[in-house]
Amino acid sequence: MQPPRPAELAAPPQWRAVELLSDLHLQPAEPATFDAFARRLRTSDADAFFLLGDIFEAWPGDDVLAEPGFEADCAALLREVARRVPVHLLHGNRDFLLGAAFARAAGVRLLDDPTVLAFGAHRWLLSHGDALCLGDTDYLAFRAQVRQPGWQAAFLARPLAERQAIARALRSESEARKRSGATYADVDTAQALAWLAAAGAGTLVHGHTHRPGDHVLDAAGHRRLVLSDWDPAAQPPRGDVLRLDAAGHATRLPVA
């Protein structure tokens, strides 16, 4: 499979550190996750935030922001933080319908997947990670379908209540699969290395798999840093933030 040509984002020279997180799966039924997210965004001294997909458990369309509710509260939080520092976001497999209206309301910049962050002398390849799970062929077929503009236009033309019902059904199906003990495909190493070569980057940072870790991919030292999903109410609590600095250090911080 031909690796995609990544977008490029050059960090301003005054940036000292940035923070990356993913897979919060924000939803009204889990207020502890929203509270932890809000606390991190408001108290961190990072110069920018990068949200690498699945920030929301589901996103039925930007018109959900037209009325007060959980989604509008999330947009308001992001808008508050974006007045202070840049907030960047790329799509996940749960919130791929986040669009321009959401970006305007939340004050965030939507990124292509993948995007290279050129920060200091280092190049970090940022992705949600789902497109690299080549073994999950059923999902990749679904992904190819729902990322088509025509499919999205037809889906968004349905009434909001219908779209929300579909999202709830998909969530229930996903939870049932997890409870069944089904295994999920991991990122394909050869494809990850191909993406890194195309990007001229040394490290891939992604989420999606819910398997946090630091993997050395080859003898040349190419790495894959995997972010955790978030659930501060779980036992033990889950969630982390990856902090990158201009010197090229990557530090994993637990969610407080």
Q: For 3-54, how does the pLDDT look when each residue is reduced to its tens digit (9 = 90+)? A: 999 999 999 999 999 999 999 999 999 999 999 999 999 999 999 999 999 9
Burial class (CB in 10 A: 0-12, 13-18, 19+), 182: exposed
- What does the pLDDT read at residue 132? 98
How do residues 226-238 score in pLDDT, each as one tens digit?
A: 999 999 999 999 9
Residue 236, preceding peptide bond in cis (omega within 30° of 0): yes
C-alpha–C-alpha distance, residues 205 and 82, integer Å: 22
The pLDDT tens digits of the residues spanning 184-194 come to 789 999 999 99
> What is the per-residue pLDDT for 188?
97
Whole-number average pLDDT of the chain:
95
First to last CA, the chain: 40
Q: How confident is the model at residue 111 (pLDDT cuts 50, 70, 90)?
A: very high
Q: Nearest to residue 110, comparing CAs of 93, 128, 87?
A: 87
Question: From CA 178, how far away is CA 172, in angstroms rounded?
Answer: 10
| pLDDT per residue as tens digits for the range 58-109 | 999 999 999 999 999 999 999 999 999 999 999 999 999 999 999 999 999 9
- What 3-state class would DSSP assign to 141? helix
What is the Cα–Cα distance from 96 to 76, expressed in whole angstroms? 20
**pLDDT reported for residue 181:** 63
> How confident is the model at residue 179, as a pLDDT?
64
Q: What's the confidence (pLDDT) of residue 48?
A: 98
Architecture of domain 7-254: 4-Layer Sandwich (3.60)
With beta carbons less than 8 A apart as the criterion, state whether 22 and 127 touch: no
Tell me what pLDDT residue 167 has.
86
What is the residue extent of each domain of the chain?
7-254
Phi, psi of 46 (to 5 degrees): -60, 150
